[in-house]
Amino acid sequence: MQCCGVYPDNFTYSFLLKACNSLSLVQMVHAHVEKLGFYGDIFVPNALIDSYCKFGCVGIRAGMKLFMVMEERDVVSWNSMIGGLVKNGELDDACKLFDEMPKRDMVSWNTMLDGYAKAGEMNKAFGLFERMPERNVISWSTMVWGYSKAGDMAMARMLFDKCPMKNLIIWTTIISGYAEKGIVKEATVLYDKMEEVGLKPDDGFLISILAACAESGMLGLGKRIHASIRRCRFRCSTKVLNAFIDMYAKCGCLDAAFGVFSGMSRRDLVSWNSMIHGLGIHGHGEKALKLFSRMVHEGFEPDKYTFIGLLCACTHAGLINEGRNYFYAMEKVYGIVPQVEHYGCMIDLLGRGGLLEEAFGLLRNMPMEPNVVVLGTLLGACRMHNDVDLAKAVCEHLFKLAPSDPGNFSLMSNIYAQAGDWVNVANIRKQMKSTGGQKPSGASSIEVEEEVHEFTVFDQSHPKSNDIYEMIDRLVQDLRQVGYVPKAYI
């Protein structure tokens, strides 16, 4: 290009930088700009900063270096740099730059709001929000999103109601907030209201809400949305249909999930992965493996998610040999290097199957450091099979990684209790007190006729509590008859 005497302009660099999918490519473009000895206008270094910031800490440092040597900076230079820091979680540094800025615009404020909201620091976010000279719908929806993720639906709702310029995105945020928490009534009422003001769901809306339904098990709302978009003849994209598959599968409606899957004219890898995983988590191991063969037969290349689904399916169906084979095949046949998640699946598979030695061996031979999840999985398997010695070894690692996680303390204390080692139970209790941790009770929820019922252990708050416990007793007796020995923990 240059041999012809033509020099790149802003747009050339813009396209070039957009195409850079690695740090070294950005560096090459940067070197080229330097060599030409001119940056054009400020657009080029700004675009360079932005591209650098996409590549983690190293990229940010390179971006910062450029930012520091720039002779002239405009508000976009500052915003790009702050945005990069915020995306990487370096909020303190972002805040410093924000304070130093000679002039801030709405984007600067919104970027900082987003950073605090993503970090769950809603007090700080609210402080900024109140100090902003003016706010747009992005400022409002960032606040609604942050409060909703922090679990404060009252604040989220107050801000949503106060927002003077509601668009589809802020409606999506508040409705999926309610849906995620299983608050069906509000979610449904707002969904109807949204249609009343003339807003129609788009892909982003449907995907958000369906993902929220999948998480909280709100089958009712998911079905309602399905019916409503059928009424208005919404043409569902593959992504939306995938969200339906996942929602139905997570809610236990495998037939409905498979119905959506079968009816799709165009499936992508995510469709297959969601369906395989859905079958897997509900114990349909054989069906999941068959679907995998069909997928390969139809020419799809499996990815790391496919193997997580497959290994999960093997675990839930007790298919130890099959799981081992897939684990080794994923690298040898499909060229996918197992990640810590895959090792986690394998350790769960082996551990639940009682092959604790093999599970422990795999843990030690992992090419990466085990994380809390992997160790917790193995500890759970130790409890299941009453292996106190191995549990102690695992716990030593675990306490180093997550010294104050109350979940691990209670798991370990249960293991000691089961072995009758009351001295160590008392020790653990003491440690728990000193770190101040009490394990929050896990809760299950179920939706019956548009109402969500939540249960925790020893819960007696439900109006039909007595009936429920009577039913549990009966179930436990039935289970005993077929050989199951229930365990009660302290």
Partner DNA sequence: ATAGGGTTAG
Q: Applying CB under 7 A, which residues contact DNA?
A: 47, 50, 75-76, 79-80, 83, 105-108, 110-111, 114, 136-138, 141-142, 145, 167-170, 172-173, 176, 202-205, 207-208, 211, 214, 238-239, 242-243, 246, 268-271, 273-274, 277, 303-306, 308-309, 312, 315, 340-341, 343-345, 348, 371-374, 376-377, 380, 407
Smaller CB separation from DNA, 220 or 280: 280
Nearest to 79 by CA among 109, 117, 119: 109
- Smallest gap, in angstroms, from Cβ of residue 67 to DNA? 13
- Smallest gap, in angstroms, from Cβ of residue 233 to DNA? 19
Smaller CB separation from DNA, 264 or 329: 264
Count other Cβ atoms within 10 Å, centred on residue 137.
14
Count other Cβ atoms within 10 Å, centred on residue 294.
12
User: What is the DSSP-derived secondary structure letter of residue 440?
Assistant: P
Smaller CB separation from DNA, 195 or 421: 195
CA distance 235 to 362: 47
Smaller CB separation from DNA, 208 or 216: 208
- Smallest gap, in angstroms, from Cβ of residue 267 to DNA? 8
- Smallest gap, in angstroms, from Cβ of residue 470 to DNA? 29
Alpha helix (H) residue ranges in 55-183: 56-69, 75-87, 91-100, 106-118, 122-131, 137-149, 153-162, 168-180
Cα radius of gyration (the chain): 27
CA distance 341 to 318: 18
CA distance 51 to 13: 11
Smaller CB separation from DNA, 19 or 471: 19
Smaller CB separation from DNA, 6 or 356: 356
Q: What angle do CA 478, 479, 485 make, to 5 degrees?
A: 135
- Smallest gap, in angstroms, from Cβ of residue 51 to DNA? 9
CA torsion sign for 462, 467, 471, 473 is positive
- Smallest gap, in angstroms, from Cβ of residue 184 to DNA? 18
DSSP bridge partners of 445: 454
Smaller CB separation from DNA, 25 or 470: 25
Q: Position 308: which residue type?
A: I
Q: Extract the tokens encoding 252.
A: 């236990």
- Smallest gap, in angstroms, from Cβ of residue 369 to DNA? 11
69 Cα distance to chain centroid: 38
Count other Cβ atoms within 10 Å, centred on residue 436.
8
- Smallest gap, in angstroms, from Cβ of residue 243 to DNA? 5
**List of residues 6+ apart from 22 with CB closer than 8 A:** 55
CA distance 432 to 160: 40
Smaller CB separation from DNA, 39 or 205: 205
